[in-house]
């Protein structure tokens, strides 16, 4: 997952879109490319926020957007 976070951090820094919209895009791209597989666990909100140097609320909003798009299923 460390490589994945490095990739995401780089993409977030390069993007002009808000982070809460970029993260679901990245999840979708990584599923399509095989970097993420169905049932892979994503980091918790606080862990991801720390790894990506983002606010907790931004990551919560990103995960909510990913759920809306059908990319995540929280259990």
Q: Rounded mean pLDDT of 40-58?
A: 95
pLDDT of residue 66: 97
Q: Encode pLDDT of 52-74 as tens digits.
A: 999 999 999 999 999 999 999 87
Domains and CATH numbers, the chain: 2-68 (1.10.10)
Q: Encode pLDDT of 21-36 as tens digits.
A: 999 999 999 999 999 9
pLDDT of residue 29: 96
The pTM for the full model equals 0.91
| Residue 57: Cβ-neighbour burial (10 angstroms; 0-12, 13-18, 19+) | exposed
Contact (CB, 8 A) for 59 and 23: yes
Q: Which residues contact 3 (CB under 8 A, 6 or more apart)?
A: none
Distance CA 16, CA 38 (A): 28
């Amino acid at each position: 997952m460390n490589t994945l976070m490095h990739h995401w951090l780089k993409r977030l820094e390069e993007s002009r879109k808000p982070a809460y919209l970029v993260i679901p895009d990245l999840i979708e791209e990584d599923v399509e490319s095989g970097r993420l597989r169905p049932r892979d666990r994503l980091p918790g909100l606080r862990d991801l926020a720390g790894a990506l140097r983002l606010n907790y609320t931004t990551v919560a909003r990103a995960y909510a957007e990913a759920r809306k798009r059908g990319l995540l299923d929280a259990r």
